[in-house]
Structures are given as structure tokens and as C-alpha cells.
Copies of this chain bind each other. A is one copy, B any other.
Amino acid sequence: MSATINDVARVAGVSPSTVSRALSGGPVNAATRDLVRRTAETLGYQPNRAARELITGRTGALGLLVPDLGNPYFTEVIKGASSRSRTSSYPIFVSDTDEHVAREHETIASLRHNTDGLILCSPRGTDEELLALAQTGPTVMVSRHVPGVPSVMGDAAAGIEQALQHLGALGHRKVAYINGPAGSYSEGRRSAGLAAAQALGIEVVEVPAAAPTFDAGVLAADLVLTTGATAIIAFNDLIAIGVLNRLTSRGIRVPEDMSLVGHDDIPMASMCTPNLTTIAVQKERLGFTATDLLLRLLDQRAARSSATEPDDTCLQLPSMLVVRGSTGVAPSTPPRS
């Protein structure tokens, strides 16, 4: 089939070990290195991954776990991760857990075998579970922080604060916040941003949503209408769009009767009518940065043999409110439930 290291060695007139060292930066005479590089090139030599993995114990691949591929938020994160991994010769395994905690465990176990490191995006499960899972191998988390596990996240609290300021400026005094799934960490972070409400003279009512989906939003819309709020901040855009649909079909106009703010700025947010005001997160950058962090982590491991000091890196990427058509001045009276 394809050329092996021995073929290159024979043609170049050196030993296989010299070829190995020449191509991987070992101590080799500059002249022979050039010779080896050239012959490898002309022979179209590609090192055999399996052989390398067998001897080094490293697979040269990464794994990325997302709760739901159907959620555009995660596909953006994936794109960012791919674009980083593309420049590093580390292929990336993507897997979908269908929002099941059990599936999450299985998939992590199976991915560990095929990868050198894992990126867990918005994982479910308790801190303890996740810490245990993270300790089975190099791990970086996205949109969730567990002490002892390096992570990358959007600054949800700041985003929420901006949204509250925006709504306050428009005269809203009672805002409903539609929560994400319990056990999702970003849920916690986002709720934390709500602390700013008091200072702004805004009352916040929390309303639960069963899942970060359109359907859950449809459901939540009716609940919100019983609260007397004149504006809504939703856990994510999918929920917000569900809310929007339900409000529209109940004859409640957005933004005249009710203002609506989403979170994440997925493409769909600028495709619905009215366009959704939303807290934009740098999704691609999130994936890119997480991959970068993981690769750096792997480099460290390769250098120092077993540096298992707990890494508490937690990078925060800024979020920004994008004002579009779904927010407006507060109505004099809240829409009747």
C-alpha cells in the first residue's frame, strides 16, 4: 500500500530510527534531515497512526461530547473546535448524548479508548459525577465549571445584566426569567446574573422550562402570562422562539405587548419574526478555545511525565446583547393571562 518508515530509510540510505528522529525533530544532522524529509516527501510517506499509537500509547485524536446535535448552539461550538483541530493534525470525534446522563457516561467511557482528551460541552450530571469522569483522562469543559476541571465559558452573568439594563431602560419593571434544565450549570450562572435586577428596580420571576427546546418554550409561555411580567428573558434562543410562537398564536404581540430576550444568538434568532433580541455568545470561539486549551494540556502531559496538579483554569469569553426586534418599550398594562 503506502510507504512505510522502512521504505523511506532504505531509499535514503539510513536506518529507520534516523528517519523517525528526522521527521519528529530528534537530534539529526541537518543534511541527513533534509535528505530524509525530501525522500519522505517524494515517496508520499504518511506515518501509520496505529503503529505510532501502539508504541506511544497516544491516539492522536480528540473527543467532543454535546447534549444534542440538533441544537444549533452546539453545532457552532463544534465548528470552532474543528477549525482548531484542523490545524493540529488531531482529528476530532463528535458524539451526541441525546441529553441523557446515562448515555453521557457510556459515551465518555467509549471515547476515552479512542482519544487522548475529551471536551465536554454543557454536560449534565452532578459536580461529583463530572469530576470523577474528568479524572479518567484529560478533560476540558465548555459552558460548565466544576472545581478541578479546566473550562471555557461565556460570561452569562454579564449578558443577563446587559439584558436587564436594556429592559429597565425600556421601562419594564417585572421580568420573567425562563430557567434551563435543572442540573445544567449554565443555568446556575445565568441565574446569578439576575442579582443585578434589584439595583435596577426590576422584579424578576423565575419560571421553569423542562428542556432547552422549542417545545418547552411553547409550554413556558402560558406560565409566564400568569405572572404579570411585561418582558421575558429565556435560557436560550430555542426556548425564546417557542415562547414567541405561542405568544403570537395567542394574539399577544411581540414586542408591543411583551418583550422577549433570548440567549446564544443562534442563526434562527435572526430568521424569525420579529427578529430576536438575544445575548450573543461567541460559540465558535468557545469551541476553538476549549480545543486549544485541551491541546495545551496534552502538551504539558507529554512534557512533564505525570503532572496531575488539579488545573482550575476557567476562561471567560465576553457576551454581548444584540438588540433586534423582539424588545420594545413596556406596555402600560401587562398582557392579560
Q: Which residues of A contact B (CB under 8 A)?
A: 1, 46, 48-51, 53-54, 57, 59, 61, 69-70, 72, 75-76, 78-79, 82, 91-96, 110-111, 113-114, 214, 241-242, 245, 248, 267-268, 271-273
CB of A95 within 8 A of CB of B114, answer no
Least CB distance from A58 to B in Å reads 10
User: Given the complex of chains A and B, what is the CA–CA distance between A246 and B318 in angstroms?
Assistant: 32
Chain B residue numbers with a CB within 8 Å of A70 are 72, 75-76, 79, 267
- Chain A contact residues, majority secondary structure: helix
> Given A75-B75, A93-B91: A50 and B59 within 8 A (CB)?
yes
User: Given the complex of chains A and B, what is the CA–CA distance between A226 and B113 in angstroms?
Assistant: 58
Chain B residue numbers with a CB within 8 Å of A69 are 75, 78-79
CB of B271 within 8 A of CB of A245, answer yes
Least CB distance from A326 to B in Å reads 13
CB of A94 within 8 A of CB of B94, answer yes
CB of A91 within 8 A of CB of B72, answer no
CB of B96 within 8 A of CB of A114, answer no
Name 6 interchain pairs, CB-CB below 8 A, sorted by A. Answer: A46-B113, A49-B114, A69-B79, A70-B72, A72-B72, A268-B268
Least CB distance from A65 to B in Å reads 12
Least CB distance from A93 to B in Å reads 6
Least CB distance from A319 to B in Å reads 20
Could you say how many copies of this chain the assembly holds? 2
Least CB distance from A151 to B in Å reads 23
Partner pick for A79 among B57, B96, B214, B271, CB 8 A cutoff: B96
CB of B268 within 8 A of CB of A248, answer no
Least CB distance from A112 to B in Å reads 10
Least CB distance from A84 to B in Å reads 13
Least CB distance from A66 to B in Å reads 10
User: Given the complex of chains A and B, what is the CA–CA distance between A238 and B245 in angstroms?
Assistant: 18
Least CB distance from A90 to B in Å reads 11
Residue of B nearest to A270 (CB): B214
Residue of B nearest to A72 (CB): B70
Given contacts A70-B75, A82-B95, A91-B114, 9 further A-B contacts (CB under 8 A): A50-B50, A54-B54, A69-B75, A69-B79, A70-B267, A78-B96, A82-B96, A214-B271, A242-B271
User: Given the complex of chains A and B, what is the CA–CA distance between A59 and B114 in angstroms?
Assistant: 11
CB of A245 within 8 A of CB of B267, answer no
User: Given the complex of chains A and B, what is the CA–CA distance between A61 and B76 in angstroms?
Assistant: 24
User: Given the complex of chains A and B, what is the CA–CA distance between A69 and B83 in angstroms?
Assistant: 12
Chain B residue numbers with a CB within 8 Å of A267 are 70, 214
Residue of B nearest to A107 (CB): B86
**Residue of A50, A82, A273 with most partner-chain B CB within 10 A:** A50
User: Given the complex of chains A and B, what is the CA–CA distance between A72 and B48 in angstroms?
Assistant: 35
**Residue of A70, A241, A248 with most partner-chain B CB within 10 A:** A70
**Residue of A111, A245, A248, A267 with most partner-chain B CB within 10 A:** A267
Chain B residue numbers with a CB within 8 Å of A114 are 49, 61, 91
Partner pick for A272 among B57, B113, B272, CB 8 A cutoff: B272
User: Given the complex of chains A and B, what is the CA–CA distance between A272 and B270 in angstroms?
Assistant: 12
Least CB distance from A68 to B in Å reads 9
Chain B residue numbers with a CB within 8 Å of A94 are 93-94
CB of B214 within 8 A of CB of A49, answer no
